[in-house]
Structure 1
Amino acid sequence: MRHTVKAILHEMGDSSSLIEVQPVHGGDISQAFEVRTEQDYYFVKINRNAAPDIFQKEADGLQQLRQAGALSVPQVYHVSPAGADHGYIVMEWVPREPASDSEARLGRGLAQLHQYTHTHYGLAEDNYIGKLPQPNGWQTSWPRFLREKRLGYQAKLAEEKGRLPAPRKARLEKLLDRLEQWVPDHQQPVMLHGDLWSGNWLAGPNGEPYLIDPAVFYGDREFELAFTELFGGFSPRFYAAYRDVQPLSDYYEDVRPLYQLYYLLVHLNLFGESYGPAVDRILRHYVG
């Protein structure tokens, strides 16, 4: 792997001596490494089996978050070109220095990110959620976007993978038909990280929160908050700081499980039937 890393850095323009290559654990899609050369420190991700543009989409998402200016993101130095025999991305190495107020700063920063608005829901280009395709395009209706580009698309993937048995499929179709009953269509489209669980942010120098591994699009801000609550990992300080900037809507508790359903379908498609019972519980909650 040192040879591969050295070749990537040489292509990027760093031909200095390679001092250290250490595996970084925590992701489940790519191999990741902390790399030190005589010239600099880097974070390098490599994947020989991913879609050829997956790292370019990651770089695009980080740039969009950077433009919003609400939270820090790592600087991207180099992305594998089209036609490369394996995908890779080289970013700045962000040393972890958590502070007592890091989560509160993350909450405030996320609320500020959710003030970066657009006229439509979605995104100009498709991207990825994990290693799964995430279709986008622009829509003027949030329920329609949620139905067609999020829940409906993941349902189609689940059916193709044999993970949508007849009762689950029937309930999901019923839910999709009645989506406007629960999902508001009057919220301002705002920029979302799109895949914000506890492993997709880190506390950098001086406790500064950094966002990583985005799946950016414009949607209802509470779609993002619902996912942060799905698997835990965020403290009350995070939510209190968010609410100090943007209070939650009066319908959030009613729509939260439905918003979480998208991410459960993603996990069902990525990891299998162990997520099926959670999907079924939410479907029964809404449509019986």
Structure 2
Amino acid sequence: MELFIRETLEKVNDTSTVRSIKPISGGDINQSFYVETDRRPYFIKFNENVASHFFQAEAEGLRLIKETGAIRVPDVYHYDCPDGDEKASLVMEWIEKGSLNASHSLGKSLAHMHHHTSEKYGYGKPTFVGELDQTNEWCTAWTEYYRRYRLGGQLEIGMAEGTISGLREERLKRLMDRIEEFIPRKPKASLLHGDLWGGNWMSTRDGEPVLIDPSVLYGDHAFELALTELFGGFPSNFFDQYNTYFQLPDDYQDTKPIYQLFYLLAHLNMFGEMYGSQVDRILKNYVG
């Protein structure tokens, strides 16, 4: 691995002395390392046997978020688009974590990011949810995109994997057919991080919030907020600040479970039946 790290550093024209290489725990998908050279510290991720756009999707998502100027993300120095079974790398800025609570600032910054919009919904390139392929196209209605590419994509995976069948499959299809009854057809098409759970943000030593590991799309900002409430990691002052700068709709509590359903379906398809009861409960509540 050390040899490969040195070869990767050459791609960013850093041939200085490598002072330290330390594996970083916490990621289930990639091998991650802190690498310090005489020039600077880096955060480097590796993977193999992945699609050619695996790291490209992440790098381009970080670029889009950075261009808003609303919130900090790591700078990207290099990414590979591997062919076949080549090992891929993503080389980024190392940001030292701090202990200061940045959730207050995160709410404000995320709201400002969500004010950056598109005329259409979705995203014109494929991305990933974890290791699952996420097909995206541009749609003129949010309901069309959410039905076809979010719920429909997970339905297709679940039917192939055997995690979605029988009554669960019937209910999900009924919900998809009736989706315009439950979520807005044309909300503001905000730039969304797309995978904003508690592990995908951090704070610097100065208490500045930083977003990492995006899976970007343009859609209803309530979709993003629904995920922040699903697995925890976001205290009340985050939501208070967010609402100060971008008010959630009055029916947010009604739409929230349908937006959380997408992420629960993805977890069902990735990790199995431990998420099945939550999926079934939401489907039953909406379509009987």
TM-score by length of 2: 0.97
Going from structure 1 to structure 2, the CA distance change for 1:172 and 1:81 (only over 3 Å counts) comes to: closer
1:129: Cα distance to partner?
1.5
Deviation sequence 1:148-201 (CA, Å, 0-9, x none) = 010011110011011012110011011111111111113111100000001101
Aligned counterpart, 2:48: 48
CA distance in 2, matches of 1:169, 1:35: 46
Aligned counterpart, 2:187: 187
1:166-205 aligned at under 5 Å gives the runs 166-205=166-205
Deviation sequence 1:36-55 (CA, Å, 0-9, x none) = 11111000000113222100
CA distance in 2, matches of 1:250, 1:81: 43
| Aligned residue pair count | 287
1:110: Cα distance to partner?
0.6
1:1-288 aligned at under 5 Å gives the runs 1-83=1-83, 85-100=86-101, 102-288=102-288
Deviation sequence 1:126-162 (CA, Å, 0-9, x none) = 2112121111111111111100010011110011011
Deviation sequence 1:64-102 (CA, Å, 0-9, x none) = 1011111000000011144371111000100012324x1
CA distance in 2, matches of 1:163, 1:129: 17
**Greater shift after overlay, 139-148 or 123-132?**
123-132
Aligned to 2:257, what secondary structure does the other structure show? helix
1:213: Cα distance to partner?
0.4
Aligned to 2:164, what secondary structure does the other structure show? coil
Let me know the Cα RMSD of the aligned residues: 1.2
Unaligned runs of 5+ in 1: none
**Greater shift after overlay, 77-86 or 141-150?**
77-86
Query: Quick one: which amino acid aligns to residue 42 of structure 2?
Result: Y
Deviation sequence 1:187-242 (CA, Å, 0-9, x none) = 11110000000110110241111111000010000000000001111101111110
Aligned to 1:73, what secondary structure does the other structure show? coil
Unaligned runs of 5+ in 2: none
Deviation sequence 1:94-132 (CA, Å, 0-9, x none) = 0012324x1110000111111001111011212112121
1:11: Cα distance to partner?
2.8
Aligned to 2:229, what secondary structure does the other structure show? helix
1:273: Cα distance to partner?
1.6
Aligned to 1:243, what secondary structure does the other structure show? helix
**Greater shift after overlay, 78-87 or 228-237?**
78-87
Query: Quick one: which amino acid aligns to residue 284 of structure 1?
Result: K
Aligned to 2:11, what secondary structure does the other structure show? helix
CA distance in 1, matches of 2:146, 2:53: 24
CA distance in 2, matches of 1:31, 1:154: 26
CA distance in 2, matches of 1:126, 1:50: 13
State the identity %.
Answer: 44
